[in-house]
Structure 1
Amino acid sequence: MILWENFDKNEIYIIIMLIVSYTAFFLFPKRLSTSITILFLVWGFASSTLFDFTIGGGLLDFYKVNDSNKYELFDLLSYFLFAPFSYFFVYFYERFKIGKKAFIFYILGWCFVGLIMEKVSGYMGLTHYQHGYSIKYSLIVFLVVQTSTALYYELIKKKEPFLEKLKQGH
């Protein structure tokens, strides 16, 4: 791993986004249990890493992150951006009490947010498409990740009372 190839706007963008997203994370009122919070922070980090190592610079190499195809410190830091976004996805899912009727619209709304963030990230030099990749493929990735995140949260929500009883020894 190298530190960076060129320290320029994409590294500055990552630093600013990390500060903004984690400041919001710590300032927002807590709506989710600590275990759910940690779970979805890890989920966001893991899902971004999975896709980056498969379709990104990994197996398929459809895009590069930052300035080179070499693994940089700021590649790793960029994965930490997905953790609070995953948390906020679940946070607002709970805050707005998303049910069956609003489920699809909620997913589509977050897909739109994801596409905007990807456009901004491209402009800031964070992502560079290659080998025929385009943003329309990212829509599919967002649909899969956000739908699975919401369904996973629904599953966890159903199991949480049972898990709390186990923790208390009942």
Structure 2
Amino acid sequence: MEKIVYDNHFNGNEWFVIGVIVLGFAVVWLLPRRYSPAQTIFNLLIGITFGHIADHSIGLPPFDFYDVGDQSAYQLFDFFTYLMYSPFGYLFIYGYERLRMSELMTVVYILLWTAVSVGFEWLASKAGVFHYKHGYHTGYSFPVYLFLISIQLILYRMAFARNRWQRNRREEVKKTY
């Protein structure tokens, strides 16, 4: 496979990544603390994890729908792009917990965050962070984000549901008597 070079300077795409990371983590830092350390780490790492999974599922052969950064081969700076996703995972759950919405509104909330994610990807592509190939475009990312955001919420609910911890604590208390 031939290596494609889109750019070989530190310029707009790298500054976009740095700007999103700094702005995203600043927002997370400035928000009131609502989570335990485990919840905070989960919410921050799931964005990185899902970004990594998606990039290595559809961004590499056999699909190879897009390249990240300045070249088709991964460079050290390309790994910083995964940090961009971290605040999004945190902010998604933060808003979900803060709004305490019904199940129907949860669906609307997921769709809204999916649209925000596609919009963010579009901006990143305009900044030169993503380079699409083989006819791929941001619209194709909608079902990917829809799936990943839904899975994130399911995993969060499974891991941190209030009644789960209360139920387990009651069972532990019963065992001691």
TM more than 0.5: yes
What is the TM-score when the length of structure 1 is the normalising length? 0.89
Separation (CA, whole Å) in 2 of partners of 1:162 and 1:32: 20
Q: Percent identity?
A: 30
Q: Deviations over 1:103-130 (max 9, x none)?
A: 1100111011111101110110111110
C-alpha change, 1:163 and 1:129, in structure 2 (3 Å) is farther
2: CA distance, partners of 1:165 / 1:26:
34
Q: Match for 2:68 among 62, 65, 68?
A: 65
Give, in angstroms, the shift of residue 74 of structure 1.
Answer: 2.1
Structure 2 residue 22 is matched with structure 1 residue 19: yes
What is the total number of aligned residue pairs between the two structures? 167
Instruction: After superposing the two structures, state which structure 1 stretch, 9-18 or 34-43, moved more.
Output: 34-43
Question: Equivalents in 2 of 1:53, 1:146: separation in Å?
Answer: 17
Q: Does 1:32 align with 2:38?
A: no
Is 1:50 the counterpart of 2:50 in the alignment? Answer: no
- RMSD over aligned CA atoms reads 2.4
Give the CA deviation at 1:81: 1.0
Partners of 2:69 and 2:169 lie apart in 1 by 42
The answer to whether the 8 A contact 1:31-1:95 is kept is: no
Between the aligned partners of 2:128 and 2:37, the Cα distance in structure 1 is 34
Deviations 1:117-144 (A, max 9, x none): 0111011011111012121210010100
Give 1:1-170 correspondences, 5 Å limit. 5-158=8-161, 159-161=164-166
Q: Aligned letter for 1:152?
A: L
CA distance in 2, matches of 1:95, 1:117: 22
User: How big is the shift at 1:163?
Assistant: 6.8
| Gap runs ≥5 in structure 2 | 1-6
Which one has the largest radius of gyration? 2
- Cα distance 1:146–1:73, how it changes in 2: closer, same or farther (>3 A)? same
8 Å CA contact 1:53–1:59 kept in 2: the answer is no
Query: The residue matched to 1:128 in structure 2 has which SS?
Result: strand
Partner of 1:152: helix, strand, or coil?
helix
Comparing 155-164 with 124-133, greater Cα deviation is found at 155-164
Counterpart amino acid of 1:77?
A: F
Q: Deviations over 1:14-72 (max 9, x none)?
A: 11111101111111111122111101211111110011011013542100111111112
Unpaired runs of 5+ in structure 1? none
Query: TM (normalized to structure 2)?
Result: 0.85
1:5, 1:160 → 2: CA distance?
A: 51
Deviation at 1:82, TM superposition (A): 0.8
